[in-house]
Amino acid sequence: MIAFLLVLALQLKVPDAEQFVGKPQGTPLTGEQLHLRTQQVGALLRCPVCQGLSVSDSPAEMAVNMRGQVRELLSRGYTQEQILSYFERSYGQFVLLKPKFNGVAAVVWILPILAVAIGVVIVVSKAKKLEQRPTANGQQPTANDPYLARVRDMVQKP
Amino acid sequence: MNRTVLIVGLIIVAAIVAILFMGLGNDPAHIDSPLIGSPAPGFALKAVGSDETIDLTRYRGKPVVLNFWATWCRPCWDEHPVLTANAQMAGDRVQYLGVVFQDEESKIRSFLEQRGWAYPTLVDQAGKTAIAYGVGGVPETYFLDKNGIIVAKFAGPMSAEDIEKNLRKAMQ
């Protein structure tokens, strides 16, 4: 029976990462380091059957399988970039929780920076306008202004 | 300044509304497969109810309908008779294959015995085949042309019309 199962296992073939991203370019990991890196790389991948959960955080069987595959690839020496490329090849950029800076995804990066920059320009120009705002009689106050001199006197009086 | 702020604000709002409007017609469950136009990932998996291992390359030379499903998936129950009937009608011209995803062989065998089958059903190993194809849920079907290139993907249970429409692309 064992011999039969062994023969069967040898005949089975599942798609392998080497077909798509080449040979491993890193160091094979084991033990605690393997566990830690599996969590870290899994946290960068989106669970395709969940609502916004990473592969590391989801208890779904799909995520468990993906985590198992990440673990296996890390133990064979595949790098984070190779593993992310492997999943991206099957699922597209959707599977990456941190979108890449290209195409439409670049908008996700540019828009917040652009919004902050526009906000800063508006605040600065408003502040400048407030500084230059003329007084009630339409004149800018000067250092020798009699009104300012009276105020200064009142403030400095003990 | 107020006019500039208004114009910039309007441009930003218009861009956001345009992006949201474009997404209105999209099916949230539909994710385009980046594999369309690429060679289908190869596999050799055990067939349910036999000791035979079926290699995908065996069917090179004719279109393949590769259906990922599971017995715990209710829409797959509805899709099963449609696929079976279409596979029987297609005969040798098209090869239908089922790949069962996250399931137990005993449950699959019992399901097929109750409902019948017309093509081989294979058991995925730890979801590796499904992951290589980018399966996000079941049922999900991939259409391969005679050269083993993925030409279409369908997410969800298919009707006979859906099969026909996608199969046409595979037969071109």
The DSSP result for B62-103, as a single string, is S-EEEEEE-TT-HHHHHHHHHHHHHHHHHTTSSEEEEEE-S-
What residues in chain A have their Cβ under 8 A from chain B's Cβ atoms? 4, 8, 11-15, 19-20, 48-49, 61-62, 65-66, 68-69, 87-92, 94, 115, 118, 122, 125-126, 129
Q: In chain B, what residues touch A110 (CB-CB under 8 Å)?
A: none
Nearest to A66 among B42, B53, B131 (CB): B131
How much is the pLDDT for A110?
Answer: 84
How much is the pLDDT for A153?
Answer: 86
pTM of the model as a whole = 0.77
**Digits of tens for pLDDT over chain A (158 positions)?**
555 455 455 468 888 889 889 999 999 999 999 999 999 999 999 999 888 899 999 999 999 999 999 999 999 999 999 999 999 999 998 899 987 777 776 777 788 888 899 899 989 988 888 877 666 666 666 777 888 888 888 888 76
Coil/strand/helix, residue B144: strand
CA distances B6 to A38, A53, A110, B11, B53, Å, are: 49, 38, 21, 9, 67
Give the ipTM of the model, two decimals please.
Answer: 0.81
User: pLDDT tens, B79-119?
Assistant: 999 999 999 999 999 999 999 988 999 999 999 999 999 99
Q: What would the two tokens of residue A12 be?
A: 């089975």
How many residues would you count in chain A? 158
CA distances A25 to A29, B15, B63, B67, Å, are: 12, 42, 36, 34
CB contact under 8 A, A65 and B127: yes
Give the CA-trace dihedral at A62, A66, A68, A70, to 10 degrees.
Answer: -170
Whether A46 contacts B159, CB under 8 Å: no
b/e per residue A87-126 (b: at least 16 CB within 10 A): bbbbbeebbbeeeeeeeeeeeeeeeeeeeeeeeeeeeeee
Whether A76 contacts A28, CB under 8 Å: yes
Amino acid identity of residue B104, one-letter, is: E
How much is the pLDDT for B30?
Answer: 62
